[in-house]
Chains A and B, each alone.
Chain A
């Protein structure tokens, strides 16, 4: 028989938990939900746009009544829970309903704090919390002109802005010296006030309310200094209070909120609590972003999986007021031990301040230009050492090498601007999907629109769209799980593979409680890579967890045929090799013969069954696989060097061939390209490769982390060495540290930007012992996995994977 789960509170926190739970354990519980409001579940953070008239109520519904029915959830709406009997495990509501529970989830949210001045209970005094409040405001605005908002914080200003949009004259009363003092410093607070005044809002700062007067409804408000204003509506937005009445009444331990542990469990083990009503590690949250992290953890424990803990959320804020760009996060004030970097451009209306301590960002406040808000926030949460990028920090991510998440101008883009070039998805498509389908996460946007689901280079843009569309309440998850099959991150999975010595995908899935028996296309490829790269000797490569190109050792084309690209060591070839390629092209009727960007020749349109035959012919003339299909070393591009070129300083083709012989066949997190140029004129374009060598008269400059792809990034100069032996040792060490530390499908450029160039340099240049160990491990892996046996030969003459290349049967 199913257990019974009762949820008190039909808001975002409670229902997000139920959704997460249905996904991982759909049959565990009979679910009953009590909601005080007479609706399904709606997106409370979009009430501001509703008030502004930018959205309708039905556009912000997350789960309509049909959803509850479809999922067999009993919903008691418009009903208030009056008691919980913790001994008998029953919940009683004011309509007389009594329901038993095995597990209870309290998600009662918070209430607006109403200042208890005389007259606070007059009709026309409201908070800004739910659909009813918004309805009241819209109703009053139809016939009346004057409104007062008490509280110049985030919520108060959004309410004031909405009322102004509805044509009312709005005065904002604020107790403090400047607006939004919890999110802004005095300078940005004043800038905000000026902009809002220009839009027509009136302010009374440093003012406290002493009384509200009226005959049967609000008529005027009187301040502590004795002055007064006539008004038809008063919105109190001075803060929220966790709604813990019920919890207190039934004797659950509460401080400011219901106290929960890291699994969202209250002091009664049968009762969980989540959302704005809880206090966790001394923190009470009033934003929506933490809910999603809490919901995941809570659902996991309700499902009795027992993994994952909630450790708190660092939040950031954005104001949802049209025409005002404002971002703030963390400690933006600072103290004696911190430093500030400040940019202030009054005529552009731009102010940016970043607070730094020990080379890490503690907080930021941005006004007028918030494009880089999410980037600073990411640097802050990840604790990235910013000393390498300090000089460019204030100018934004666009002024770095730009290999990360690319152009960050999403706010200025038109709706028909293409966000995802791979799948042709526009900004309008993404925004529409987010609002209409009620999406909250990157994964959901990927599933519904395909944006960011191919090459991933637009991930940052999609995250920004989530942020701008949902308001500041969206936070990119701090640590992204590998995929929907697990809660664990790439880094955690790899660490466990190493510490627990997990040598097969099956071990990983069992020990780390994977949600699916055999994973999905995303995690199987990642985990397979982590296993074989961590335990080259003990593990076995699982070909069914390889993308088809690596499984078949050829690149699948759109029509289902394959390409064949043999290796040309260091870009050198011979008449004999060229003849072999020409013969194969004619013999197998391959009409497309293409010179690739990596100095080799590609043959296209090959039928899969013919691959082994073609490989055999090429092998016979000494040609081997170019791994043009793999997350592996691709090519080592060279110029002819000092043998021919009048400018050449070293034997660039020679070193190129040696580099290729060293590293070919090694599986990497992503494709890996090298180049060697014979002089600083750099004809081989070595400074946009993952590892580049630029020969100079006195030796070799080594460059790392370049990328000529989606986002062009110029390499960082790692060091200069004197001999070819050193070049090879550094190359091996760099390959290995990349293999061991970058996440699967992370190119060297974004990896270096993530971990910091200084870290890589310290590991490879400054620490000679570590460099030698890395190089040794690379060579060990190359030897032990016999990666340098040609995969084509194994398949063309040694019968490996014969099933891959022949039909099971031909009939008809």
Chain B
């Protein structure tokens, strides 16, 4: 069953930045890009579990701070020749508030 949870305001996240939502043992990284789109993926790079929330956001992707893997924020997949995938969450924005779908 899906469960939309409000996690904060869009403005709580810097443009081209990220914040972390702590869901029990799992950290979810919430990203905001230059078009005020918001994305959510598990805060662990498929390569060596680098914290994607600490990376650099560009377009609809983030570059992992550990070894520069690029992750597509729309689906959690590694981009380019790299292969791997991290967990991905649906998000929506209502009246400036971010909601993340947690199953």
A428-B102 Cα distance, complex, nearest whole Å: 45
Q: Decide if A498 is an interface residue (CB 8 Å cutoff).
A: no
Interface size class of B (residues with CB under 8 A): 35 or more
Contact of A547 among B13, B17, B33, B65 (CB under 8 A): B65
- Find the B residue at minimum CB distance from A811: B23
Q: Are A544 and B14 in contact (CB under 8 A)?
A: yes
Q: Are B54 and A807 in contact (CB under 8 A)?
A: no
Q: Are A809 and B54 in contact (CB under 8 A)?
A: no
Q: Are B58 and A447 in contact (CB under 8 A)?
A: no
Q: Are B20 and A521 in contact (CB under 8 A)?
A: no
Q: Decide if A812 is an interface residue (CB 8 Å cutoff).
A: yes
A293 smallest CB distance to B (angstroms) = 24
Q: Decide if A552 is an interface residue (CB 8 Å cutoff).
A: yes
Q: Decide if B59 is an interface residue (CB 8 Å cutoff).
A: yes
* Most chain A beta carbons < 10 A, residue from B17, B23, B54: B54
Q: Are B58 and A519 in contact (CB under 8 A)?
A: yes
Contact of B56 among A423, A545, A552, A807 (CB under 8 A): A545
* Most chain A beta carbons < 10 A, residue from B48, B67, B70: B67
* Most chain B beta carbons < 10 A, residue from A450, A518, A524, A556: A518
- Find the A residue at minimum CB distance from B62: A521
Chain A contacts of B24 at CB under 8 A?
811-812
Interface residues of A in 515-533 (CB under 8 A from B): 516-521, 524-525
Can you name 5 extra interface pairs (CB under 8 A) apart from A519-B58, A524-B58? Answer: A556-B54, A560-B51, A803-B17, A803-B19, A812-B23
Q: Which residues of A contact B (CB under 8 A)?
A: 423, 447-448, 450, 453-454, 516-521, 524-525, 543-545, 547-548, 552, 556, 558, 560, 803, 807-812
- Find the B residue at minimum CB distance from A449: B81
Q: Decide if B5 is an interface residue (CB 8 Å cutoff).
A: yes
B13 smallest CB distance to A (angstroms) = 7
Chain A contacts of B68 at CB under 8 A?
453-454, 521
Q: Are A450 and B67 in contact (CB under 8 A)?
A: yes
Interface string of B27-50 (1 = CB under 8 A from A): 100100110000000000000111
Q: Are A811 and B63 in contact (CB under 8 A)?
A: no
Chain B contacts of A558 at CB under 8 A?
48, 50, 66
Chain A contacts of B90 at CB under 8 A?
none
Q: Are A518 and B65 in contact (CB under 8 A)?
A: no
Chain B contacts of A519 at CB under 8 A?
58
- Find the B residue at minimum CB distance from A516: B59
Q: Decide if B73 is an interface residue (CB 8 Å cutoff).
A: no
A544-B24 Cα distance, complex, nearest whole Å: 27
A518-B58 CB under 8 A given contacts A560-B50, A811-B7: yes
Q: Are A423 and B67 in contact (CB under 8 A)?
A: yes
Chain A contacts of B16 at CB under 8 A?
518, 544-545
Q: Are B20 and A808 in contact (CB under 8 A)?
A: yes
Q: Are A548 and B5 in contact (CB under 8 A)?
A: no
Contact of A808 among B13, B34, B48, B58 (CB under 8 A): B13
Q: Are B58 and A516 in contact (CB under 8 A)?
A: yes
* Most chain B beta carbons < 10 A, residue from A519, A807, A810: A807
* Most chain A beta carbons < 10 A, residue from B5, B65, B80: B65
Chain B contacts of A560 at CB under 8 A?
49-51, 54
Q: Are B7 and A808 in contact (CB under 8 A)?
A: yes
Q: Are A809 and B22 in contact (CB under 8 A)?
A: yes
A809-B22 Cα distance, complex, nearest whole Å: 6
Q: Are A520 and B63 in contact (CB under 8 A)?
A: yes
- Find the A residue at minimum CB distance from B33: A518
Q: Are A518 and B59 in contact (CB under 8 A)?
A: yes
A450-B68 Cα distance, complex, nearest whole Å: 9
A448-B79 Cα distance, complex, nearest whole Å: 11
A809-B100 Cα distance, complex, nearest whole Å: 11
B54 smallest CB distance to A (angstroms) = 4
A807-B48 Cα distance, complex, nearest whole Å: 22
Q: Are A548 and B65 in contact (CB under 8 A)?
A: yes
Q: What 6 pairs across the A-B complex have the smallest Cβ distances?
A: A521-B63, A808-B19, A812-B24, A521-B56, A548-B54, A544-B16
Query: Can you report 30 A-B residue pairs in the complex whose CB atoms are below 8 A from each other?
Result: A447-B81, A448-B81, A453-B68, A454-B67, A454-B68, A516-B59, A518-B33, A518-B34, A518-B59, A520-B58, A521-B56, A521-B58, A521-B68, A524-B56, A524-B58, A543-B14, A544-B17, A548-B55, A556-B51, A558-B66, A803-B19, A807-B21, A807-B27, A808-B12, A809-B7, A809-B8, A809-B22, A811-B7, A811-B22, A811-B102
